[in-house]
Structure 1
Amino acid sequence: MDLPFEVLVYLMKYLPKSDRKAASEICRSWYMAANDYCFLKNKVVIFYKSVLNDEETSPSNIFENSSTIFFNYLFSEVEIPNKINAFWDKLGENIRCLTLRNCDINEKVFVYILQRCCNLHSLNIECCKELFMSGRLLEGKTEGLLAESLNNLKALSLSGNQYLTDALFNRFIVASPALIELNLSGCSLQFHLGLVKKFYPPGSDVFQNPSESVLTFYFVLQLIISRAEHMKKLFFSNTLIDGAALKSLSEVENLRLESLEVNSCDQLTNTGILALTINQTTLKELDIGLCTRVTDQSLVYICKNLVNLEYFNIQRCRAVTDLGIIELNKLKKLKSLNISQCELITKDGLEKGICAVENNILEELDVHSLNIDESAVIMISEKFPNLRSLDVSYCFNAVTDTSIQVIFKNQIYLQTLKMSHCDKVSDAGLTGMGKVEETGDDGPIMSNYDESGNSQKIHLGSRAEEEIVRDARRKRDVLLMCAKLTTDTFTGFSLARIKGLKELDISSCNRITDVSLTYAFNFKELTNLNLSRCQQITQEGIGYLVKNCPSIEYLNLIDCYNLKDEAVAEIVKGLKRLQQLELRGCNQVTDKTLEAVLTYCKKLKYLDVQGCRNISPELACPIGSLPTLHTVLMSKPGPYISDGVKNRSPAPTFLPALMRKLRLH
């Protein structure tokens, strides 16, 4: 019995993106349901390192003849020739969002595209320097057909274009009367008053003769003033914007910003932040991360005046201390907070700030690289029960078997968990082979497993050798406990308790072994897994991982040197959705690995086998023939050695067409 189309669409809404994509391959009715408008409006068609031409096998031709209409397209690192003009003729009027990122495209083709894409809502031209190099782009084109094409444009991004000038920028703005979002991040914005006086003498109309030599903040500011009532989102990251410039921007009459991003702006000072908080109280998103001159004073202003903030980033604002962090308890609507790499923040600041009371609103928290202890992580896990994303990477002393047990107990809704380089975490913590007990002010403790052991023998080896012996004993004991206990008799909290986990990063947690992969990994929705430098895992653990986590798409196994060809064979056979596989430094894998990839990987896009010295460069040609594969990273072929003598004959010649997919390092 076939379900009605409306019922199928309703059911598809409950599936994660990757599951919905897999379901669409079952039959035509499921394909149509998975591509209903409610899903299609958020889907993006990506052409990455593709060869676009007028041949039938060209990716552009495939979408041109598709019965499904897509609205968002991203072209990254591709050449866009006039040979695919038919693509724009047929699909242009349906495109709502168009992104050109680091593309090779000439001015004539670009104008043609804009004329055909007459219903654009978002246009992103990022790092396409050749397009702006002549300075004549859109000259004389901003009226007539082109003006009609950009009439509904809401968002414009020209980030990373070093050749952008006032004149070029003005042509885009004139043709986009409905603009509410502007991104000039990474552009060469000039703030020097001498340049302003040179190109715009007092009394002159800046719009009549905009500079064709430089991009000045003064000119950008005048355009923002003229559109102040409509502008809601501005992005000036990686520019030289300073306190005076931000003050001028904040005081623009009728400007009511909702989002501002000034990440990595070293010249930004407290003066600009103060003006911003006084005049732009409607802000919901603020990113001032990596702004080295931001201090506690800025946080006092922000937390006092910007009470509507929902997203706040102060990553690596190194002058911020506990005095500023304490003020964060005034932001009652925060949903996402990044305070990572602020070296002066301690547990005391967190306790009096964001952890002062239980918070059921915060969903994303990034505290990686903070100088905190174990009790701070426990406090965080107890105060934020509704977290969806948590990053505690590089908190070396804070993330232990004890503290992650409390995370597994409280954060059951987590979808992203990152604890990279937390080398105190072991199988005992991940598998739940410890019980959380309340012991007064000391907090939870681990029981049922005694890591110290009872041996009174004096170890005569080195400290490294002693650690190896201890790790081996730990693995043996935890394995025995896991084998004896059932799910009903577990006394601790296993990682497997977080059922909805989609992204997990435990890279460089070298105490983790096959025991954790066998007993703690059971995630049906896990798509992104980083196990790099977990050097104790072997084929045995990989077998259980593949069986219990079938949805993995991105798998990082860099420097897992105990993995052999058999382990990789398990991966490529069992993970049907695998798109990215990183095996750099796995020096025990051989040509059999590439043969397995070639045979079983039907969706692989990215493969890294650098440093795998037993893999022959000759296999680069057949592996490059996979239709979905766009990037292969391999080590350069070195001199061959036979009978103790180096053979310096030239390396095998690869086919030019396939070399586009290969990067030799």
Structure 2
Amino acid sequence: MADSLPLEMLTYILSFLPLSDQKEASLVNRAWYYAAQNALRETNVRYNIPVSSASLSAIKNLGLRGISCISLTNLDGSPASHQVLQSVAYHLGPHLESLCLGGGSPTEASFLALILGCPVLRTLDLSGCNSLFTSGTLLAQPETAQCVRKALSGLRDLNLAGLRDLTDLSFNHLSSCFPSLERLSLAYCHITFELGPTWGSISPQETSPSQLSFHNLLQFVKERAGRLRALDLSGTGLPPEALQALGQVTGLQLEELSLHSCRDLSSEAVATLCRQQPGLTSLDLSGCSELTDRALLAVSRGLQHLRHLSLRKLQRLTDAGCTALGSLHELQSLDMAECCLVSGRELAQVLGSVHRAPPALTSLRLAYCSSLKDASVLTMIPALGPSLKVLDLSSCVALTNQTMKAICTYLIHLSVLRLAWCKELQDWGLLGLKDPSEEPMLSPQLHQEVENQAPDPQEPNSEPQGPSLLMLQGLQELDLTACSKLTDASLAKVLQFPQLRQLSLSLLPALTDMGLAAVARGCPSLERLALSHCSHLSDEGWAQAARFWPRLKHLNLSSCSQLTEQTLDTIGQTCKQLRVLDVAMCPGINMAAVRQFQAQLPQVTCIQSRFVGGADLTLTL
């Protein structure tokens, strides 16, 4: 019946499926294959193409399908790489919109030939491509530069992160070819800052052939102020004076600014920036270790349209600063991971206040906030509501079953839940049952709800009742690493998520073969699975589980002491899509078995095998 549907209708239907399901659907028949390819193209999927002669036929087929977004890996100066770049330019170039060469080492000649064949390119990633800038002659010839400028006049996004040999001259040669540039990343490039009142007043003759200077960058920003919307200067050591000079450029209206790990920035500099650039919608101040509550207060007062805010690793940030977050009414994602002085009390009050409309957060990350307690989280969670999709409470070691129950009651639309190293979580919490040994800590409303739904059990392996983990049926990623009190009693019953793609159960000493088999039946769509240091798992358990996981791509079995080469053989027969495997420190597996496995699945690109069979080896293929 489905075969008779028009191609456009099949394409529309398949577009609702997750990426992995679209790939599986393409194998049903020819009609579904073409419909799936159309759906994949419409969702702007990035295709990772390894540079080798074996990829040439695939590149040609991708060209026939009009693929517009690719990433080339293992790129170097070899003839094979040159041949692949020629093929990409010929087959994909006319409709290629996004090209990533990150970390590659192409020659200047092959790179120029490639980009000249990509006239509609909008995004170019050259991060870590140091080979292009070593000589300093890239695009130095006016004729070549003119051709590139004509071909790539529509480029909007340029990533030059991590280039150690980038200089004023090479940056100017390259950037002059992209007059429509809106987004620029120079993250972790070595930029020199010479303090003084003359910033921005340089002439073209003062550009440096040996270093990348802030003077030159500032001149570029002044020239492009009307177009530039996003700037990433993370890890460049940007001082407060430079940030002030940047923010006050006439006509500059930034929307996104990333200053991750600019450790010299002060709260005063951030306050000045907020006054200068009030239109910012995304700001990353992670790792700017000198910032205090004053910086967060300035952000909340000056950036009323902020949607994404990252404050990771701000060790001087306290609860007092969190009081200001209530005025950021458009905030969608908040990252305060590793802010160890934040207990969550003020954040909970801000989000739970009935006198103001709380932000409709879609993502909240509070990992490694060791001061976070149940009392704060239980006040916060009901206010977060159905909009929240991502919650990260990893290493908040004081959280207990009460937090788990609150999550399962109020946050049923979560797609990502990370609770790694929350060691107080027990089977009771996952099952939605009341532990008689615990004192009620819930808010009155939530406590009454849990009391009504979760009768007092006699043992933790009762069937799930009340707000159990089963309520989160939209989960696609779950991390329970090192929640060491969890056992098969709960895992076998609540890990039933047909959409789950990524799961970590590493460092769960009580996980057995029975639990593994139950998880396999309940989570058949897994693509990434971590089970390291699960010492009770054996070959028998994998013999039962592996057949349910044909989509596995990344598998970590390191330090699983009972596994032998029999498990490798089982995985090799059933997990045909596997790409990465870690069996390091598995004493029952030897190198001969690893080599045989690699021969069985040649598409596996990386096998970690340190201390396998007593040897200190890492086999990367």
The alignment's TM-score, normalised by the length of structure 1, stands at 0.86
1:322-471 alignment, distance < 5 Å:
322-357=319-354, 359=358, 361-370=360-369, 371-386=371-386, 387-397=388-398, 399-434=399-434, 444=447
**CA offsets, 1:449-490, max 9 Å, x none?**
879xxxxxxxxxxxxxxxxxxxxxxxx9212x22xxxx7xx2
SS of 1:143's equivalent in the other structure is: helix
Instruction: Note closer, same or farther for the CA distance 1:440–1:319 as it changes in structure 2 (3 Å cut).
Output: closer
Per the alignment, residue 282 of structure 2 pairs with 285
Q: Is 2:560 the counterpart of 1:598?
A: no
SS of 1:526's equivalent in the other structure is: coil
Per the alignment, residue 76 of structure 2 pairs with 79
SS of 2:351's equivalent in the other structure is: coil
Report the CA distance between 1:638 and its aligned residue. 6.3
Instruction: Note closer, same or farther for the CA distance 1:572–1:9 as it changes in structure 2 (3 Å cut).
Output: same
**CA offsets, 1:223-260, max 9 Å, x none?**
01100000000001111102111111110111111111
Per the alignment, residue 609 of structure 2 pairs with 634
Report the CA distance between 1:192 and its aligned residue. 2.2
Report the CA distance between 1:280 and its aligned residue. 0.8
- AA partner of residue 408 (structure 1): C
SS of 1:533's equivalent in the other structure is: coil
CA–CA distance in 1 between the matches of 2:482 and 2:530?
A: 11
Contact 1:77 1:101 in 2 (8 A): no
Q: Is 2:261 the counterpart of 1:258?
A: no
Instruction: Note closer, same or farther for the CA distance 1:60–1:269 as it changes in structure 2 (3 Å cut).
Output: farther
Report the CA distance between 1:575 and its aligned residue. 0.6
Per the alignment, residue 580 of structure 1 pairs with 554
Q: Is 2:507 the counterpart of 1:508?
A: no
Per the alignment, residue 318 of structure 2 pairs with 321
**CA offsets, 1:346-369, max 9 Å, x none?**
233223333334636111101122
Per the alignment, residue 10 of structure 1 pairs with 12
1:41-440 alignment, distance < 5 Å:
42-47=44-49, 50-53=50-53, 58-66=54-62, 67-79=64-76, 81-84=81-84, 85-140=86-141, 142-193=144-195, 205-206=203-204, 208=205, 210-357=207-354, 359=358, 361-370=360-369, 371-386=371-386, 387-397=388-398, 399-434=399-434
Contact 2:537 2:562 in 1 (8 A): yes
**CA offsets, 1:307-341, max 9 Å, x none?**
00010111111111122110000000111011121
Question: Structure 2: which 5+ runs fail to align?
Answer: none
Query: When the two structures are aligned, how many residues end up with a matched partner?
Result: 602
CA–CA distance in 2 between the matches of 1:256 and 1:360?
A: 24
Instruction: Note closer, same or farther for the CA distance 1:143–1:564 as it changes in structure 2 (3 Å cut).
Output: same
CA–CA distance in 1 between the matches of 2:524 and 2:445?
A: 40
- AA partner of residue 535 (structure 2): Y
- AA partner of residue 633 (structure 1): Q
CA–CA distance in 1 between the matches of 2:456 and 2:441?
A: 18
Match of 2:584 among 610, 622, 629: 610
Contact 1:434 1:493 in 2 (8 A): no
**CA offsets, 1:42-94, max 9 Å, x none?**
111113xx3512xxxx1233222343221111123443622222332222222
Q: Is 2:480 the counterpart of 1:478?
A: no
Instruction: Note closer, same or farther for the CA distance 1:260–1:494 as it changes in structure 2 (3 Å cut).
Output: same
CA–CA distance in 2 between the matches of 1:441 and 1:597?
A: 49
CA–CA distance in 2 between the matches of 1:151 and 1:592?
A: 57
Instruction: Note closer, same or farther for the CA distance 1:287–1:622 as it changes in structure 2 (3 Å cut).
Output: same
Report the CA distance between 1:420 and its aligned residue. 0.6
CA–CA distance in 2 between the matches of 1:411 and 1:344?
A: 25
Stretch of structure 1 that moved more, 366-375 or 341-350: 341-350
SS of 2:126's equivalent in the other structure is: strand
Contact 2:402 2:441 in 1 (8 A): no
1:538-577 alignment, distance < 5 Å:
538-577=512-551
Contact 1:318 1:343 in 2 (8 A): yes
- AA partner of residue 460 (structure 2): V
Instruction: Note closer, same or farther for the CA distance 1:152–1:609 as it changes in structure 2 (3 Å cut).
Output: same
- AA partner of residue 133 (structure 2): F
CA–CA distance in 2 between the matches of 1:298 and 1:164?
A: 32
Instruction: Note closer, same or farther for the CA distance 1:495–1:439 as it changes in structure 2 (3 Å cut).
Output: closer
CA–CA distance in 1 between the matches of 2:545 and 2:442?
A: 43
Contact 2:125 2:159 in 1 (8 A): yes
CA–CA distance in 2 between the matches of 1:614 and 1:37?
A: 44
SS of 2:489's equivalent in the other structure is: helix
CA–CA distance in 2 between the matches of 1:530 and 1:36?
A: 33
Larger Rg: 1
SS of 1:504's equivalent in the other structure is: strand
CA–CA distance in 2 between the matches of 1:366 and 1:439?
A: 22
SS of 1:478's equivalent in the other structure is: coil
Instruction: Note closer, same or farther for the CA distance 1:550–1:204 as it changes in structure 2 (3 Å cut).
Output: closer
Contact 2:558 2:583 in 1 (8 A): yes
The alignment's TM-score, normalised by the length of structure 2, stands at 0.91
- AA partner of residue 565 (structure 1): D
Contact 2:332 2:361 in 1 (8 A): yes
Instruction: Note closer, same or farther for the CA distance 1:60–1:431 as it changes in structure 2 (3 Å cut).
Output: farther
CA–CA distance in 1 between the matches of 2:40 and 2:279?
A: 30
CA–CA distance in 2 between the matches of 1:295 and 1:439?
A: 32
Report the CA distance between 1:216 and its aligned residue. 0.7
Contact 1:564 1:589 in 2 (8 A): yes
Contact 1:61 1:87 in 2 (8 A): no
- AA partner of residue 424 (structure 2): K
CA–CA distance in 2 between the matches of 1:639 and 1:554?
A: 27
Contact 2:126 2:160 in 1 (8 A): yes
Report the CA distance between 1:572 and its aligned residue. 2.7
CA–CA distance in 1 between the matches of 2:181 and 2:201?
A: 27
Report the CA distance between 1:193 and its aligned residue. 3.6
SS of 1:354's equivalent in the other structure is: helix
Contact 1:142 1:174 in 2 (8 A): no
